[in-house]
Structure 1
Amino acid sequence: MIGVRYLFKGGIPMENIKEKLSDVLHHYVAIAIVVLYLFSGSTLNPIPPAQALVTKPVLQTNVQLKKQTLEKFSNTVYKPSVGLTDQELVQLLSYVGFEGNALKMAWAVAKKESHGRPMAYNGNRNTGDSSYGIFQINMLGNLGFDRKEKFDLDSNYSLFDPVINAEITYSMTKGGTDWSSWKGLTPKTKEWLAKFPTKSKE
């Protein structure tokens, strides 16, 4: 009678059969690993689930930052006696387009006209004024009608928004190159030019 260790007629021991099957299995496993590696195009180290879900924060672009800052200036409720700080005024003017010497001149004119107060108003008609905002844009009579139409203003009160006021001034001065509507470089403007905050970012 053949023992349990010899199950085939050829008399091949069970140990030899197991060894051969193991060799065949290892052979095909090795082939499968190589195929997976070639088609994956990367290492075989899997990305941990927690790592795969991590997303990098999106950095704000300069355009987004400017937009948010200008919206903040527009949406702030200002008291009549309170002006923008020197740094805030520089930032506002630079964000609407003033650069270099034009930025310095715009800052000096705004300080001369209103001390940077968004709610500043001069209604003295004896001096020919109905002037609004940080640049004291005059809206008296036909001058006001023309400017409302040209700059699409719903009301003179829109000029109390420092962003609108600065943008219109930028347009009126051709980017800060023509200040004739503000009598140009007056002695008072020169005084303010000397006080321009040089540490501010233009």
Structure 2
Amino acid sequence: MIVIVDYGMGNLRSVQKGLEKVGAEATISDDPQIVARADKVVLPGVGAFADAMAGLKNRGLVTPIKEYVASGRPFLGICLGLQLLFTKSYEDGEYAGLDVLAGDVVRFPQRDGLKVPHMGWNQLRIRRRSPILQGLENDTYVYFVHSYYVVPSSEGVIATETDYPTPFVSSIWCENVYATQFHPEKSQSAGLQMLRNFASV
């Protein structure tokens, strides 16, 4: 069973529908025990980093998620769910994350002509072909909506980069942890392929 973590924020139903389209069974839950027993976990999310961490803490989900990741079972973070995996975020202050991966979450710089948030279709440049990228071409277009991006302490976790206009990390892969800054559930056939791949890892 794939469990989609409900912490009061995010695109939960659209992620569930995407997984169902590729034949996977997925349930939405905020129950720490159900998350702990899952075969696979998806942590989606849109909104503010601090609010998301508060939602996880208030539901008693922080420790179960960290223990789940440490167990080696497959984990997928989407958009804010990617950012929450890192040490800290500088969104409207400085806030501690789950610290599953070392690194920071920072805002796109204010530059002439650069629209923030980064919204719409953009390309992936594959650096390491993670299992969820199988069957996808380099320069595949996927859908983004975000103002912040991750800066991992180790480049070894980077799976793809995207230019806006300078490169930023658009997905990571570290052992059993997969996470994307873009939204697979909104990325049409390419996104469904990623969800299909995750369901089968």
TM-score when normalising by structure 2: 0.22
Q: Which has the higher strand share?
A: 2
Structure label with greater radius of gyration = 1
Q: Which has the higher helix share?
A: 1
